[in-house]
Amino acid sequence: MATLQAPTVPKAPPGMAAGLWRKFWRNYYVQRLIKGIVTVFVVTTLTFFLVRLMPSNPLEVYIQAQLSQGIPLADAQAMAAAIYRVDLSKPIYVQYVEYLAGLVQGDFGRSIASVGTPVSSIVLRFLPWTLFVVSVSLIVSFTVGVLLGTLMAYRRESWFDHILSAFASIMSAIPNYVVGMLIIVYFGLRLKLFNYSEIRGSLTPGMVPGFNLKFFADALYHASLPIITYVLTTIGSWMLTMKSSTLSTLGEDYVTVARARGLTDSRIQMAYVGRNAVLPLFTQLAISIGMVVGGSTLIETIFTYQGIGHQLSSALITRDYPVMQAVFIIICASVVAANFLADALYGWLDPRIRTGGR
Protein backbone atom coordinates (compact mmCIF):
# COMPACT_ATOMS: atom_id res chain seq x y z
CA MET A 1 0.00 0.00 0.00
CA ALA A 2 1.32 3.41 -0.93
CA THR A 3 1.95 5.73 2.01
CA LEU A 4 0.46 9.21 2.08
CA GLN A 5 2.99 12.02 2.26
CA ALA A 6 2.36 15.51 3.56
CA PRO A 7 2.26 18.11 0.82
CA THR A 8 5.45 20.11 0.57
CA VAL A 9 5.19 23.83 1.24
CA PRO A 10 6.67 25.83 -1.61
CA LYS A 11 9.62 27.98 -0.60
CA ALA A 12 9.32 31.72 -0.82
CA PRO A 13 11.35 33.37 -3.54
CA PRO A 14 14.75 34.52 -2.24
CA GLY A 15 13.89 38.19 -2.67
CA MET A 16 10.54 38.02 -0.89
CA ALA A 17 11.93 38.02 2.70
CA ALA A 18 14.19 40.96 1.93
CA GLY A 19 11.28 42.81 0.36
CA LEU A 20 9.06 42.22 3.37
CA TRP A 21 11.88 43.36 5.68
CA ARG A 22 12.38 46.59 3.70
CA LYS A 23 8.65 47.18 3.65
CA PHE A 24 8.52 46.69 7.43
CA TRP A 25 11.29 49.23 8.10
CA ARG A 26 9.74 51.72 5.67
CA ASN A 27 6.41 51.52 7.43
CA TYR A 28 5.25 54.94 8.62
CA TYR A 29 4.37 53.83 12.13
CA VAL A 30 7.49 51.68 12.60
CA GLN A 31 9.74 54.62 11.74
CA ARG A 32 7.90 56.89 14.19
CA LEU A 33 8.12 54.24 16.93
CA ILE A 34 11.88 53.77 16.43
CA LYS A 35 12.46 57.53 16.54
CA GLY A 36 10.46 57.74 19.76
CA ILE A 37 12.47 54.96 21.43
CA VAL A 38 15.76 56.58 20.40
CA THR A 39 14.55 59.95 21.73
CA VAL A 40 13.66 58.49 25.13
CA PHE A 41 17.03 56.74 25.33
CA VAL A 42 18.96 59.92 24.49
CA VAL A 43 16.99 61.99 27.00
CA THR A 44 17.49 59.31 29.67
CA THR A 45 21.25 59.34 29.08
CA LEU A 46 21.53 63.14 29.09
CA THR A 47 19.40 63.41 32.23
CA PHE A 48 21.51 60.84 34.07
CA PHE A 49 24.71 62.79 33.51
CA LEU A 50 23.32 66.32 33.76
CA VAL A 51 21.66 65.90 37.16
CA ARG A 52 24.98 64.74 38.56
CA LEU A 53 26.55 68.06 37.59
CA MET A 54 24.31 69.81 40.09
CA PRO A 55 26.12 70.87 43.28
CA SER A 56 25.55 68.96 46.52
CA ASN A 57 23.23 66.04 47.28
CA PRO A 58 21.69 64.48 50.43
CA LEU A 59 24.52 61.94 50.72
CA GLU A 60 27.15 64.67 50.83
CA VAL A 61 25.14 66.62 53.40
CA TYR A 62 24.80 63.51 55.57
CA ILE A 63 28.50 62.65 55.27
CA GLN A 64 29.54 66.21 56.16
CA ALA A 65 27.28 66.09 59.22
CA GLN A 66 28.93 62.84 60.34
CA LEU A 67 32.42 64.25 59.76
CA SER A 68 31.57 67.26 61.91
CA GLN A 69 30.86 64.83 64.76
CA GLY A 70 34.32 63.27 64.45
CA ILE A 71 33.31 60.12 62.55
CA PRO A 72 35.99 58.96 60.05
CA LEU A 73 35.30 59.49 56.34
CA ALA A 74 35.21 55.78 55.48
CA ASP A 75 32.73 55.06 58.26
CA ALA A 76 30.56 58.04 57.27
CA GLN A 77 30.49 56.87 53.64
CA ALA A 78 29.59 53.33 54.71
CA MET A 79 26.76 54.63 56.90
CA ALA A 80 25.44 56.80 54.06
CA ALA A 81 25.56 53.89 51.60
CA ALA A 82 23.70 51.66 54.08
CA ILE A 83 21.01 54.24 54.81
CA TYR A 84 20.40 55.58 51.29
CA ARG A 85 21.28 52.36 49.44
CA VAL A 86 23.13 54.44 46.86
CA ASP A 87 26.86 54.47 46.28
CA LEU A 88 27.76 57.64 44.39
CA SER A 89 31.46 56.87 44.86
CA LYS A 90 31.31 54.28 42.07
CA PRO A 91 32.61 55.32 38.63
CA ILE A 92 29.98 57.22 36.70
CA TYR A 93 29.86 54.66 33.89
CA VAL A 94 29.18 51.86 36.41
CA GLN A 95 26.30 53.85 37.89
CA TYR A 96 24.97 54.45 34.37
CA VAL A 97 25.04 50.77 33.41
CA GLU A 98 23.39 49.77 36.70
CA TYR A 99 20.73 52.45 36.19
CA LEU A 100 19.90 51.24 32.66
CA ALA A 101 19.75 47.65 33.90
CA GLY A 102 17.26 48.71 36.56
CA LEU A 103 15.15 50.65 34.04
CA VAL A 104 14.86 47.60 31.81
CA GLN A 105 13.34 45.79 34.81
CA GLY A 106 11.05 48.73 35.61
CA ASP A 107 13.12 49.83 38.60
CA PHE A 108 13.72 53.60 38.89
CA GLY A 109 15.82 53.13 42.01
CA ARG A 110 15.16 54.39 45.54
CA SER A 111 14.62 57.94 46.67
CA ILE A 112 17.54 59.61 48.40
CA ALA A 113 15.48 62.21 50.27
CA SER A 114 12.74 59.73 51.32
CA VAL A 115 15.11 57.08 52.60
CA GLY A 116 14.39 53.60 51.26
CA THR A 117 11.23 54.57 49.35
CA PRO A 118 11.09 53.12 45.80
CA VAL A 119 10.80 55.85 43.19
CA SER A 120 8.18 53.82 41.33
CA SER A 121 5.87 54.00 44.37
CA ILE A 122 6.31 57.80 44.49
CA VAL A 123 5.46 58.05 40.79
CA LEU A 124 2.40 55.78 41.10
CA ARG A 125 1.19 57.78 44.09
CA PHE A 126 1.45 61.31 42.68
CA LEU A 127 1.32 60.95 38.87
CA PRO A 128 -2.45 60.18 38.71
CA TRP A 129 -3.24 63.56 40.30
CA THR A 130 -1.27 65.41 37.64
CA LEU A 131 -2.80 63.33 34.85
CA PHE A 132 -6.26 64.07 36.23
CA VAL A 133 -5.71 67.84 36.18
CA VAL A 134 -3.95 67.81 32.80
CA SER A 135 -6.54 65.61 31.06
CA VAL A 136 -9.56 67.55 32.33
CA SER A 137 -8.04 70.94 31.54
CA LEU A 138 -6.88 69.93 28.06
CA ILE A 139 -10.22 68.37 27.15
CA VAL A 140 -12.09 71.48 28.26
CA SER A 141 -9.71 74.02 26.71
CA PHE A 142 -9.32 72.12 23.43
CA THR A 143 -13.04 71.50 22.95
CA VAL A 144 -14.15 75.01 23.87
CA GLY A 145 -11.24 76.59 22.01
CA VAL A 146 -11.99 74.71 18.77
CA LEU A 147 -15.69 75.60 18.92
CA LEU A 148 -15.02 79.29 19.67
CA GLY A 149 -12.31 79.45 17.01
CA THR A 150 -14.70 78.06 14.41
CA LEU A 151 -17.37 80.60 15.36
CA MET A 152 -14.78 83.40 15.19
CA ALA A 153 -13.87 82.33 11.65
CA TYR A 154 -17.48 82.22 10.47
CA ARG A 155 -18.23 85.58 12.13
CA ARG A 156 -14.98 87.30 11.27
CA GLU A 157 -14.77 91.09 11.57
CA SER A 158 -17.80 91.13 13.88
CA TRP A 159 -17.84 92.37 17.48
CA PHE A 160 -17.90 88.72 18.58
CA ASP A 161 -14.68 88.05 16.68
CA HIS A 162 -12.92 91.20 17.93
CA ILE A 163 -13.72 90.58 21.60
CA LEU A 164 -12.72 86.91 21.58
CA SER A 165 -9.58 87.61 19.53
CA ALA A 166 -8.44 90.21 22.06
CA PHE A 167 -9.21 87.84 24.94
CA ALA A 168 -7.33 84.96 23.29
CA SER A 169 -4.30 87.12 22.51
CA ILE A 170 -4.06 88.44 26.08
CA MET A 171 -4.46 85.05 27.75
CA SER A 172 -1.94 83.41 25.41
CA ALA A 173 0.69 86.00 26.37
CA ILE A 174 0.35 85.62 30.16
CA PRO A 175 2.37 82.79 31.79
CA ASN A 176 0.28 80.25 33.67
CA TYR A 177 2.05 80.82 37.00
CA VAL A 178 1.18 84.55 36.82
CA VAL A 179 -2.50 83.69 36.29
CA GLY A 180 -2.31 81.24 39.21
CA MET A 181 -0.88 83.86 41.56
CA LEU A 182 -3.47 86.43 40.45
CA ILE A 183 -6.26 83.96 41.18
CA ILE A 184 -4.92 83.35 44.69
CA VAL A 185 -4.21 87.00 45.55
CA TYR A 186 -7.21 88.70 43.93
CA PHE A 187 -10.02 86.15 44.04
CA GLY A 188 -8.86 84.25 47.11
CA LEU A 189 -7.32 86.77 49.49
CA ARG A 190 -8.97 90.01 48.40
CA LEU A 191 -12.45 89.02 47.22
CA LYS A 192 -12.50 85.89 49.44
CA LEU A 193 -14.39 83.85 46.86
CA PHE A 194 -12.71 80.69 48.16
CA ASN A 195 -10.76 79.60 51.22
CA TYR A 196 -7.20 79.03 50.05
CA SER A 197 -6.21 77.11 53.16
CA GLU A 198 -9.00 74.57 52.55
CA ILE A 199 -8.45 74.11 48.83
CA ARG A 200 -4.72 73.38 49.10
CA GLY A 201 -3.53 69.84 48.49
CA SER A 202 -5.07 67.11 46.38
CA LEU A 203 -7.58 65.81 48.95
CA THR A 204 -9.15 66.91 52.20
CA PRO A 205 -7.31 65.38 55.20
CA GLY A 206 -9.07 62.19 56.22
CA MET A 207 -10.74 61.64 52.84
CA VAL A 208 -10.49 57.98 51.85
CA PRO A 209 -10.09 57.39 48.08
CA GLY A 210 -12.82 55.29 46.53
CA PHE A 211 -15.25 55.05 43.65
CA ASN A 212 -17.94 57.25 45.12
CA LEU A 213 -19.38 60.69 44.46
CA LYS A 214 -17.98 62.19 47.65
CA PHE A 215 -14.41 61.32 46.72
CA PHE A 216 -14.70 62.58 43.13
CA ALA A 217 -16.33 65.83 44.27
CA ASP A 218 -13.58 66.44 46.81
CA ALA A 219 -10.84 65.67 44.27
CA LEU A 220 -12.42 68.01 41.72
CA TYR A 221 -12.77 70.73 44.36
CA HIS A 222 -9.06 70.65 45.19
CA ALA A 223 -8.10 70.44 41.50
CA SER A 224 -10.42 73.27 40.42
CA LEU A 225 -7.87 76.09 40.68
CA PRO A 226 -5.11 74.33 38.69
CA ILE A 227 -7.71 73.30 36.09
CA ILE A 228 -9.02 76.87 35.77
CA THR A 229 -5.46 78.16 35.45
CA TYR A 230 -4.58 75.67 32.72
CA VAL A 231 -7.81 76.32 30.80
CA LEU A 232 -7.43 80.12 30.89
CA THR A 233 -3.82 80.02 29.73
CA THR A 234 -4.25 77.45 26.93
CA ILE A 235 -7.67 78.15 25.47
CA GLY A 236 -6.45 81.28 23.67
CA SER A 237 -3.96 79.41 21.49
CA TRP A 238 -6.63 76.87 20.48
CA MET A 239 -9.04 79.67 19.55
CA LEU A 240 -6.53 81.60 17.42
CA THR A 241 -5.10 78.49 15.74
CA MET A 242 -8.52 77.10 14.90
CA LYS A 243 -9.70 80.46 13.58
CA SER A 244 -6.67 80.78 11.29
CA SER A 245 -6.94 77.18 10.11
CA THR A 246 -10.67 77.50 9.43
CA LEU A 247 -10.23 80.71 7.42
CA SER A 248 -7.52 79.03 5.36
CA THR A 249 -9.70 75.97 4.75
CA LEU A 250 -12.72 78.06 3.72
CA GLY A 251 -10.67 79.42 0.82
CA GLU A 252 -9.84 75.99 -0.60
CA ASP A 253 -11.22 74.93 -3.96
CA TYR A 254 -12.94 71.80 -2.67
CA VAL A 255 -15.07 73.93 -0.33
CA THR A 256 -16.17 76.06 -3.30
CA VAL A 257 -16.97 72.93 -5.29
CA ALA A 258 -18.97 71.52 -2.38
CA ARG A 259 -21.05 74.69 -2.23
CA ALA A 260 -21.57 74.58 -6.00
CA ARG A 261 -22.86 71.01 -5.67
CA GLY A 262 -25.57 72.29 -3.35
CA LEU A 263 -24.38 70.64 -0.11
CA THR A 264 -25.79 72.05 3.09
CA ASP A 265 -23.71 74.40 5.24
CA SER A 266 -23.73 71.96 8.16
CA ARG A 267 -22.35 69.14 6.00
CA ILE A 268 -19.68 71.41 4.55
CA GLN A 269 -18.68 72.59 8.02
CA MET A 270 -18.37 69.09 9.44
CA ALA A 271 -17.16 66.95 6.52
CA TYR A 272 -15.04 69.46 4.61
CA VAL A 273 -14.06 72.45 6.75
CA GLY A 274 -14.00 71.09 10.30
CA ARG A 275 -12.13 67.86 9.57
CA ASN A 276 -9.37 69.56 7.57
CA ALA A 277 -9.12 72.67 9.74
CA VAL A 278 -8.55 70.69 12.93
CA LEU A 279 -5.62 68.71 11.46
CA PRO A 280 -2.88 71.25 12.39
CA LEU A 281 -4.13 71.25 15.99
CA PHE A 282 -3.30 67.58 16.60
CA THR A 283 0.46 68.14 16.69
CA GLN A 284 0.00 71.17 18.91
CA LEU A 285 -2.25 69.15 21.22
CA ALA A 286 0.33 66.36 21.46
CA ILE A 287 3.11 68.78 22.36
CA SER A 288 0.85 70.52 24.86
CA ILE A 289 0.28 67.26 26.75
CA GLY A 290 3.96 66.82 27.46
CA MET A 291 4.56 70.52 28.08
CA VAL A 292 1.70 70.74 30.56
CA VAL A 293 3.02 67.72 32.46
CA GLY A 294 6.45 69.34 32.59
CA GLY A 295 5.05 72.79 33.31
CA SER A 296 2.96 71.48 36.19
CA THR A 297 5.89 72.07 38.55
CA LEU A 298 5.18 75.77 39.06
CA ILE A 299 1.39 75.46 39.11
CA GLU A 300 1.37 72.58 41.58
CA THR A 301 3.89 74.38 43.77
CA ILE A 302 1.80 77.58 43.78
CA PHE A 303 -1.40 75.77 44.72
CA THR A 304 0.39 73.15 46.87
CA TYR A 305 -1.23 70.47 44.74
CA GLN A 306 0.31 67.07 45.45
CA GLY A 307 1.10 65.98 41.91
CA ILE A 308 4.22 64.78 40.13
CA GLY A 309 5.24 68.38 39.38
CA HIS A 310 5.27 69.20 43.08
CA GLN A 311 7.46 66.13 43.68
CA LEU A 312 9.86 67.31 40.97
CA SER A 313 10.13 70.69 42.68
CA SER A 314 10.94 69.00 46.00
CA ALA A 315 13.46 66.70 44.30
CA LEU A 316 15.26 69.66 42.73
CA ILE A 317 15.61 71.31 46.14
CA THR A 318 16.86 68.15 47.90
CA ARG A 319 18.94 66.96 44.90
CA ASP A 320 17.04 63.68 44.86
CA TYR A 321 18.62 62.23 41.70
CA PRO A 322 16.43 59.11 41.24
CA VAL A 323 13.18 61.07 41.55
CA MET A 324 14.40 63.79 39.18
CA GLN A 325 15.47 61.22 36.60
CA ALA A 326 12.16 59.36 36.83
CA VAL A 327 10.08 62.53 36.38
CA PHE A 328 12.18 63.71 33.42
CA ILE A 329 11.79 60.31 31.76
CA ILE A 330 8.02 60.45 32.31
CA ILE A 331 7.85 63.93 30.77
CA CYS A 332 9.91 62.80 27.76
CA ALA A 333 7.91 59.58 27.33
CA SER A 334 4.62 61.48 27.52
CA VAL A 335 5.74 63.88 24.78
CA VAL A 336 7.01 61.04 22.57
CA ALA A 337 3.88 58.94 23.09
CA ALA A 338 1.59 61.89 22.45
CA ASN A 339 3.48 62.79 19.25
CA PHE A 340 3.29 59.19 18.07
CA LEU A 341 -0.46 59.22 18.67
CA ALA A 342 -0.75 62.53 16.82
CA ASP A 343 1.24 61.16 13.87
CA ALA A 344 -0.98 58.08 13.78
CA LEU A 345 -4.15 60.15 13.84
CA TYR A 346 -2.71 62.60 11.31
CA GLY A 347 -1.78 59.73 9.00
CA TRP A 348 -5.26 58.24 9.38
CA LEU A 349 -7.02 61.54 8.68
CA ASP A 350 -4.68 62.48 5.82
CA PRO A 351 -3.29 59.36 4.07
CA ARG A 352 -0.88 61.54 2.05
CA ILE A 353 1.22 61.96 5.21
CA ARG A 354 1.39 58.20 5.80
CA THR A 355 2.27 57.30 2.19
CA GLY A 356 4.75 60.12 1.67
CA GLY A 357 2.56 61.89 -0.85
CA ARG A 358 2.19 58.85 -3.12
Domain count, the chain: 1
Q: Are 150 and 246 in contact (CB under 8 A)?
A: yes
Residue 166: what pLDDT?
A: 92
3-state helix, strand, coil in the chain (%, to 5): 75, 0, 25
- For the stretch 168-227, pLDDT in tens is 999 888 888 888 889 888 888 888 888 877 788 788 877 777 778 888 888 888 888 899
3, part of any domain:
no
Collapsed DSSP state (helix, strand, coil) of residue 118 = strand
Query: Which pTM was predicted?
Result: 0.76
156, part of any domain:
yes
39, part of any domain:
no
- For the stretch 274-299, pLDDT in tens is 677 777 777 777 767 766 666 677 88
Residue 354: what pLDDT?
A: 54
262, part of any domain:
yes
Pick from 96, 129, 94, 128: nearest CA to 321? 96
Alpha-carbon span 346 to 303, nearest angstrom = 36
10, part of any domain:
no
Angle CA(151)–CA(292)–CA(273) in degrees, nearest 5? 25
43, part of any domain:
no
Residue 144: what pLDDT?
A: 92
Collapsed DSSP state (helix, strand, coil) of residue 297 = helix
CATH number of the domain within which 307 lies? 1.10.3720.10
Alpha-carbon span 76 to 7, nearest angstrom = 75
Residue 330: what pLDDT?
A: 85
Pick from 336, 342, 333, 352: nearest CA to 35? 336
Range of the domain at 338: 119-354
Q: Are 113 and 314 in contact (CB under 8 A)?
A: yes
240, part of any domain:
yes
Alpha-carbon span 259 to 249, nearest angstrom = 13
Alpha-carbon span 289 to 338, nearest angstrom = 7
**Which segments in the chain show pLDDT lower than 50?**
1-2, 6, 9, 12
Close Cβ partners of 301 (under 8 Å, ≥ 6 residues apart)? 309, 310, 313
Q: Which helix (H) or strand (E) holds 346?
A: helix 321-349
